């Protein structure tokens, strides 16, 4: 097990650098003038394009640019992100906690409701709950996230003024930066409780609701459908019939015998969902003006902020490797037939 | 299925509440955060260092709020000034400007305190001006002072090496003694007061040095000059100025800059206690924040204007004059090296245009007469623009309202095209591309109008409209590859020189990309720059506008601006030279 994990961890830098190599190769298709555009904030600067290209070495061959970048990374410098207006490593450090918090708050309802609803739909196949869950999953999934996000924002903020965009309200924000508030974890709700400021906890929670609701709606559908079909398959197995035959209570048959085996594909999907959420939920974060890593990553890509995009891609690659590793370990736990070597 | 019933009940209740409940909080809404002004816009500032920043988002935050200038604009006027950190506006009459128009003397206001409580002196002003000139990052604003004071556009030679001898010259050109600051220009430069009103921001010398910034000597120039990244300057995210507001924090994670009132300001302290500049990229949430009163002033594009009209508690002030001119450019020397899809076959065979297609003035006149200005203004600019008779914005000194100009005239357009290239253009027809940066619907629409106007003249005329990404647009434009393109110019400072130079000079930003080279124009531009007699200077600009008409390389439009704010915002006024609202006199009630 330890060797398996160790080997997978060794893979991590390889994948991360493979990703960066790919990005640099793709950049070869863009003219240096295009890559310099990230530094132009005003048409009055256009005459300075050649000097800017020279200064940042954008006209050098791509392998030289990659080498220069790599050398800096080995010295612990991932470069300057022109879109974040800060160094890349610092940008990841400052944007990630917000995304992590959003992910944690979304993942719990996604998993609980998703697995429960999927199981219920399978057990009560072709009954009311099955139809309702199907209708909801399909309708949640069939509209893009920005539609849901905007609808939620319009009603729950625009109409009811319950869940405003951003991360904190003005008063809470000013208190947090007043020096009386210590950021221990940079997860706002957790820090609020650690600081004994319950009102900030509620304020932060209020701001989390909109994006959490959006993410739950769009992520839950797949989970419900996968759980349902996996569950249906397991329920047809002989050992389930045996369990029923020997007179076990239906709840025990479903919850203990059947569900554990039905969860294997669900684990794959949920680890991917989790990593996907952690890697940043671009649209949702943008609509709710939530200061997470996805909003920045997308913006960096749009503006051709090369160090920004490369750093972001490395980070997401690392997350994906770790997420898959976690899924593998969970498989072994849920299914003793799977042995990690 | 009790849970279904519960869920349904909850959903129905939410919907009912949402639909028939409160219709927004707007009506009779109490002023939200009465002592804090929240401005929500798109686009982050690039740096809060006044010597580095060259974007409106940055200047909007620090200019006249955190940092102040020696003189200031008088109300809404861009051409008359009032004292600010100087006690009077220099003029020939009060001895502040020498008879030869080269030496400017500023009396520095006594007892003005920086935010850290120290007193501002003429030495601080000198330090700030030198720092501005010698930071000189690539693509930065330093040329604005370098050009009139030293007669150079950059502090570095072609190889990028710093010319230290310039520092000695600058040191002599700017002298501080007691409470007097003297600046000697290389040549008389009529726009100098306009420049001082916007670009003489004063930073705290002693504080800056203590932060590890430039120490004020020639030896320290190497670290000051052309920093590799914005963060390399110590004033990137911290400030110590004299203005009515102090910078509390530039929070780059939450994308907001927070200013707080300076209670020891040299004038009456501001009415507002706090100003927050927040970036919200998406229009949807920005609009909702305005509606809910969580934003007091929001940036809105012209195409989104209808979505904020009629919102209760929201005030829109429209038809604001702006120092912005949009040009529809024709390229006299199209670059076709390495292939250029935008010129088709590259020959005048009905399937393309040769590189010098627009070098024929008849072609350019044909375009100028064919373009349907009224439709373009009505349909593409929502009637919020006007034809400009040359590159100088209407209303600015040097603009000639009586300059004859092109109007839509199919007969004349046809006549001009028939004459072009001895009739070949009319006989063979052509095909070329007019480009716009994708996403800019106004420019896209104007390109479409031009296409249909030109194609209506002759079935053999073909114009393609092509949208390209901003990055690609810059690249193609810079390489002179686009036959025609549309782009705007915003003033660096309110003076006609800042318009005729980029548009008409052979080395100007746009003139050079168009391959336009008229030695007479180049000479007139320099003459006007150095002419101190306003009447003579105006005459030269009139002459330049006449040449803009005769040579017609560019069609000019001047769009107007508008501002969207909560009606509880008081004290706002417009000056076209501002980069954003001047918050000092503003309040909420």
* pLDDT, position A44: 74
In percent, the amount of chain A with pLDDT more than 70 equals: 99
Q: Are strands B71-73 and B36-41 parallel, antiparallel or unpaired?
A: unpaired
* pLDDT, position B429: 95
* pLDDT, position B13: 52
* pLDDT, position B25: 46
Nearest CA distance, A336 vs chain B (angstrom): 36
Mean pLDDT of the region B108-129? 97
Of A137 and B390, the one with more pLDDT: B390
ipTM score of the complex?
Answer: 0.86
Which chain A residues touch B25 with a CB distance below 8 Å? 161
Nearest CA distance, B292 vs chain A (angstrom): 7
Segment among A99-113, A125-139, B10-24, B64-78 with least mean pLDDT: B10-24
* pLDDT, position B53: 92
Residues B328-387 pLDDT 10s: 999 999 999 888 889 999 999 999 999 999 999 999 999 999 999 999 999 999 999 999
Segment among A72-76, A164-168, B102-106, B119-123 with least mean pLDDT: A72-76
CA B256 remoteness from chain centre: 22
**CA A257, A217, A138 angle in degrees (round to 5)?**
80
Query: Is A154 in a helix, a strand, or coil?
Result: helix
Interface of B with A in 516-575 (CB under 8 A): none
pLDDT at B5 over 70: no
Mean pLDDT of the region B242-268? 95
* pLDDT, position A65: 84
Q: Does B4 touch chain A (CB under 8 A)?
A: yes
Q: What is the DSSP secondary structure assignment for residue B196, as one 8-state letter?
A: H
Mean pLDDT of the region B465-488? 86
How many residue pairs bridge chain A and chain B with CB atoms within 8 Å of each other?
155
pLDDT at A335 over 80: no
pLDDT at B136 over 50: yes
Distance CA B189, CA A21 (A): 52
Instruction: Answer whether A44 sits within 8 Å of B509, measured CB to CB.
Output: yes
Interface of A with B in 24-43 (CB under 8 A): 30-31, 33-43
pLDDT at B204 over 60: yes
pLDDT at B445 over 50: yes
Interface of B with A in 129-168 (CB under 8 A): 138-140, 160
Q: Does A57 touch chain B (CB under 8 A)?
A: no
Q: What is the DSSP secondary structure assignment for residue B343, as one 8-state letter?
A: G
Mean pLDDT of the region B374-401? 93
Query: Is B70 in a helix, a strand, or coil?
Result: coil
What are B515's two structure tokens? 């391959």
Distance CA A262, CA B128 (A): 70
- Average pLDDT over chain B, rounded to an integer: 92
Which of B225, B261, B285 has the most A C-beta neighbours within 10 Å, making it the best mutation to test the interface with A? B285
Which of A27, A29, A45, A214 has the most B C-beta neighbours within 10 Å, making it the best mutation to test the interface with B? A45
Instruction: Answer whether B17 sits within 8 Å of A160, measured CB to CB.
Output: yes
- Single out the residue of B213, B228, B244, B252 nearest to residue B58, CA to CA: B252
Model's pTM, two decimal places? 0.88
In percent, the amount of chain B with pLDDT more than 90 equals: 81
Mean pLDDT of the region B484-504? 93
Which chain A residues touch B56 with a CB distance below 8 Å? 42
Segment among B26-40, B370-384, B499-513 with least mean pLDDT: B26-40
Nearest CA distance, B181 vs chain A (angstrom): 30
* pLDDT, position B20: 43
Instruction: Answer whether B38 sits within 8 Å of A80, measured CB to CB.
Output: no
Q: Does B292 touch chain A (CB under 8 A)?
A: yes
Residues A253-277 pLDDT 10s: 888 888 888 888 888 888 888 888 8
User: Ranked by mean pLDDT, which of A114-128, B414-428, B476-490 comes out on top?
Assistant: B414-428
Instruction: Answer whether A52 sits within 8 Å of B292, measured CB to CB.
Output: no
A164 Rama sector, left if φ>0, alpha if ψ -120 to 50, beta otherwise = beta
pLDDT at B85 over 80: yes
Which chain A residues touch B499 with a CB distance below 8 Å? none
pLDDT at B19 over 50: no
Distance CA B438, CA B444 (A): 8
Nearest CA distance, A42 vs chain B (angstrom): 6
Nearest CA distance, A307 vs chain B (angstrom): 12
Which chain A residues touch B282 with a CB distance below 8 Å? 286-287, 289
Distance CA B402, CA B373 (A): 18
Distance CA B506, CA A5 (A): 65
Q: Does A129 touch chain B (CB under 8 A)?
A: yes
Residues A192-212 pLDDT 10s: 999 999 999 999 999 999 999
Instruction: Answer whether B471 sits within 8 Å of A34, measured CB to CB.
Output: yes
Chain A residue closest to B513 (CA)?
A47
Q: Does B330 touch chain A (CB under 8 A)?
A: no
Mean pLDDT of the region B3-19? 51
**CA B127, B132, B136 angle in degrees (round to 5)?**
135
Mean pLDDT of the region B177-190? 94
């Amino acid at each position: 097990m330890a060797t398996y994990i160790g080997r997978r961890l060794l893979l991590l830098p390889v994948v991360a650098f493979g990703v960066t190599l790919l990005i640099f190769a793709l950049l070869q298709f863009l003219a240096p003038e295009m890559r310099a555009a990230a530094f132009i904030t005003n048409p009055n600067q256009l005459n300075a394009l050649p000097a800017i290209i020279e200064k940042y070495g954008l006209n050098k061959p791509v392998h030289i640019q990659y080498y220069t970048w790599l050398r800096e990374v080995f010295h612990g410098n991932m470069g300057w992100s022109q879109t974040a207006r800060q160094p890349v490593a610092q940008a990841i450090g400052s944007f990630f906690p917000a995304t992590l918090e959003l992910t944690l708050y979304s993942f719990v309802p996604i998993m609980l409701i998703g697995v429960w609803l999927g199981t219920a739909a399978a057990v009560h196949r072709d009954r009311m709950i099955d139809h309702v869950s199907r209708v909801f999953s399909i309708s949640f999934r069939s509209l893009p996230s920005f539609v849901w996000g905007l609808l939620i924002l319009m009603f729950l903020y625009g109409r009811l003024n319950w869940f405003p965009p951003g991360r904190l309200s003005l008063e809470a924000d000013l208190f947090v930066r007043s020096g009386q508030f210590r950021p221990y974890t940079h997860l706002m709700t957790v820090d609020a409780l650690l600081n004994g400021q319950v009102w900030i906890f509620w304020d932060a929670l209020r701001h989390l609701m909109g994006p959490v609701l959006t993410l739950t709606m769009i992520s839950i559908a797949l989970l419900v459908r996968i759980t349902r079909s996996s569950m249906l398959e397991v329920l047809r197995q002989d050992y389930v019939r045996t369990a029923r035959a020997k007179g076990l209570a239906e709840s025990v048959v479903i919850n203990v015998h059947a569900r554990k085996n039905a969860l294997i594909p669900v684990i794959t999907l949920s680890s991917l969902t989790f990593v996907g959420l952690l890697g940043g939920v671009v649209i949702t974060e943008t609509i709710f003006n939530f200061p997470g890593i996805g909003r920045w990553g997308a913006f960096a890509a749009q503006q051709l902020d090369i160090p920004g995009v490369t750093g972001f891609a490395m980070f997401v690659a690392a997350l994906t490797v770790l997420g898959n590793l976690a899924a593998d370990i969970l498989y072994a736990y849920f299914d003793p037939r799977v042995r990690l070597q | 299925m009790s849970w279904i019933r519960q869920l349904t009940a909850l959903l129905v209740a939410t919907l009912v509440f949402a639909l028939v409940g409160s219709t927004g909080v707007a009506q009779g809404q109490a002023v939200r955060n009465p002592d804090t002004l929240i401005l929500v816009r798109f686009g982050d500032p690039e740096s809060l260092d006044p010597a580095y920043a060259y974007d409106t988002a940055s200047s909007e935050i620090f200019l006249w709020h955190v940092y102040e200038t020696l003189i200031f604009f008088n109300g809404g006027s861009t051409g008359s000034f009032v004292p600010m950190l100087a006690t009077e506006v220099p003029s020939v009459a009060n001895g502040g400007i020498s008879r030869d128009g080269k030496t400017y003397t500023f009396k520095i206001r006594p007892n003005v305190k920086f935010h850290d409580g120290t007193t501002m002196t003429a030495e601080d002003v000198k330090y700030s001006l030198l720092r501005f000139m010698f930071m000189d990052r690539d693509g930065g604003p330093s040329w604005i002072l370098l050009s009139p004071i030293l007669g150079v556009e950059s502090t570095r030679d072609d190889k990028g090496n710093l010319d230290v001898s310039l520092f000695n010259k600058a040191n002599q050109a700017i002298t501080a003694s007691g409470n007097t600051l003297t600046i000697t220009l290389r040549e008389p430069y009529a726009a100098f007061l306009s420049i001082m009103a916007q670009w003489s921001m004063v930073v705290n010398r002693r504080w800056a040095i203590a932060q590890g910034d430039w120490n004020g000597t020639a030896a320290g120039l190497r670290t000051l000059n052309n920093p590799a990244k914005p963060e390399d300057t110590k004033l990137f995210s911290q400030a110590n100025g004299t203005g009515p507001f102090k910078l509390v924090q530039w929070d780059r994670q939450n994308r907001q800059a927070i200013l707080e009132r300076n209670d020891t300001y040299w004038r009456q302290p501001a009415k507002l206690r706090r100003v927050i500049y927040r970036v919200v990229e998406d229009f949807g949430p920005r609009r909702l924040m305005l509606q809910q009163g969580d934003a007091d002033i929001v940036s809105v594009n012209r195409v989104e204007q209808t979505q904020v009209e009629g919102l209760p508690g929201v005030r829109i002030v429209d038809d604001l004059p702006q120092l912005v001119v949009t040009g529809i450019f024709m390229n006299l020397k199209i670059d076709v090296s390495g292939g250029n899809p935008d010129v088709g076959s590259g020959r005048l065979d009905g399937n393309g245009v040769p590189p010098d297609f627009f070098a024929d003035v008849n072609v350019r006149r044909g375009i100028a007469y064919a373009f349907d200005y009224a439709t373009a203004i009505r349909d593409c600019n929502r009637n919020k623009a006007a034809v400009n008779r040359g590159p100088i914005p209407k209303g600015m000194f040097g603009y000639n309202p009586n300059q004859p100009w092109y109007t839509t005239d199919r007969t004349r357009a046809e006549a001009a095209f028939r004459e072009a290239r001895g009739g070949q253009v009319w006989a063979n027809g052509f095909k070329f591309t007019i480009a716009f940066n994708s996403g800019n619907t106004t420019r896209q629409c104007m390109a479409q109008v031009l296409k249909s106007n030109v194609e209506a003249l002759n079935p053999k005329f073909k114009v393609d409209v092509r949208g390209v990404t901003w990055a690609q647009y810059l690249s193609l434009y810079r390489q002179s590859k686009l036959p025609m393109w549309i782009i705007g110019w915003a003033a660096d400072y309110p003076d006609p020189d800042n318009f005729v130079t980029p548009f008409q000079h052979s080395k100007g930003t746009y003139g050079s990309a168009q391959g336009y080279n008229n030695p007479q124009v180049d000479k007139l531009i320099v003459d006007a720059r150095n002419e101190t007699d306003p009447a003579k200077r105006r005459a030269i600009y009139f002459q330049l506008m006449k040449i803009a008409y005769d040579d017609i390389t560019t069609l000019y439009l001047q769009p107007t601006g508008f501002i969207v704010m909560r009606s509880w915002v008081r004290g706002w006024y417009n000056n076209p030279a501002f980069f954003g609202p001047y918050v000092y006199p503003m309040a909420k009630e």
